[in-house]
Amino acid sequence: MFDVASSEVILLGVVALLVIPPKDLPKAMRIAGQWVGRVRGVANQFRSGFDNMVREAELQEMEKKWAAENARIMREHPPEPVQMLPMADTPAALPHDAHDGDAPPVMVAPPNVHGAPPVALPGDAEPKAHP
């Protein structure tokens, strides 16, 4: 931002030695360092604010592009209508009739899970342990 060459810094040091007495030079250097720190802080804050504005503008631009691309894809490939399945408690929802001999097997016992506690099945006197 501000370009200061080494020759300019040396010139400022020589002028400071001539103008400021040696006993006040440490105090003057401390004050100059504080001012330089403040200027750098303001410059960094300005730069970060500017970077945030640029980032937000780029994000808005990308969101517009993504929305346009999404709309194009949806136009080219419309979603297929979802077929609603019948309710499970209606007879039409069953895959086969109950009297059909080729009906899929019905699970009568819970699956074997390693380390599961014993489960009491309907009609059993004692709970059965899983192997």
One-character DSSP codes across 59-107: HHHHHHHHHHHHHHHHHHSPPPPPPPPPPTTSGGGSSS-TT-TTPPP--
pLDDT digits (tens, 9 = 90+) for 76-120: 988 887 777 666 555 554 554 455 556 667 767 666 667 666 666
3-state helix, strand, coil in the chain (%, to 5): 55, 0, 45
Task: Report, as an integer, the average pLDDT of 13-40.
Answer: 87
Q: Band of the pLDDT at 36, cuts 50, 70, 90?
A: confident
